[in-house]
Structure 1
Amino acid sequence: MARKTGSHADITGPRVRDAALRLFARHGYAAVSMRQIAAEVGVQAGALYNYTPDKQSLLFELMRDHMVELLKAVPVEAGDAPLAQLEAFVRFHIGFHHARPDAVFIAYMELRNLEPANFFEIEALRGRYEAVLEGILRSGADTGVFDVADAKIATLAMIAMLTGVTTWFREEGRLSLTDVQDQYWDMVRKAVVA
């Protein structure tokens, strides 16, 4: 089939990804067909294969790109004190994820739909991100600033708690995002400071 008039790879490719992101987040990966994605974009189903080899590749690329962007953006500075690093991490995690609720939902809820090689790569990226927080907690414990019995468990618990903000926070709610970051930072600080 011929390309739709006015269609350009640099425009249609991102639109395919955006449509897939919205549809996967709204209906779940398994329930979304390539035809639905094509209809959302306004192209023929066959045209999608100019932008992605298949639906699995599309899911994997969305998840991988989210994790790569997250890792590039994390603001922790090696020279900062552990308490300052931890506060920066908490505020960053909430703010970064709040701005990307569909990507966050997919990154956590659609892991089960990844083929093994893709799952392994996403898990490795997640492990790198978790290692940032775990390193902060270990550094704080080593210097006597933090009292953390198991840095790995504390890391997983904190990330789950911080990520949960995306499920309930609304801009029009009674608290601003900064208020939420302040309160979550206070909870995290109280949980780990020696």
Structure 2
Amino acid sequence: MVIRHWSLERSGFTILEMLIVLFLLTIVVVVVLPRFSLDEDLRSTGRKLVGVLRTFQGLAATSQQPVKLYLDLDQGIYWMMRVEGKEERLPLDPAWKLPRSLPESIRFSEVSIGPDKHFSGRVDVSFFANGRIEPVTMYLTDTKNNLLGLAVDSLTGGIRVSDERFDPPLNRFIPDRVKILLKPNSQAGTTPRGLFPTQQ
């Protein structure tokens, strides 16, 4: 014969305990999730722009035609144009025929091309057929004034990303024999701004 012992001890959780846990989880989600998503939105936009810079650099080098990236700082849009001689044409790639927009919570706060700083209006960045990119520094901000900076080194093609402002670039002395290699093709129609330091 089996004897069963009924215990007065309970097993499981009461409804009150479950409601307290759900309430605490709701507070954590409401407080933490918006902060995480805004920061991630800024970082993911920065990653996309680094990808755009790399794509345009590769496109200009492989097609042996200069390319320009236009940035509208007021509307938060950017687009590409091919440079043929002195004319600019729409890109052949259908993915770039229409302008792309930044997310609504993010804007261009400043774009510097060489020594020129721009806070509004349209700005263009040149990508040359020899693989060089015009020296550019751009800063993105979100609605909470978080900052993300992207800086292109025109000599190495390296792109730095930081959540702080960059120090101004050092003036580099470039030997004349190297300057010849860095000059854009004559097809570009423009010379890069702020690439070579002036010697006095």
Given the two structures, how large is their TM-score scaled by the length of structure 2?
0.27
Higher helix share: 1
Identify the structure with the greater strand proportion.
2
Greater RCO (CA < 8 Å, at least 6 residues apart): 1
Length-normalised TM-score, structure 1? 0.28
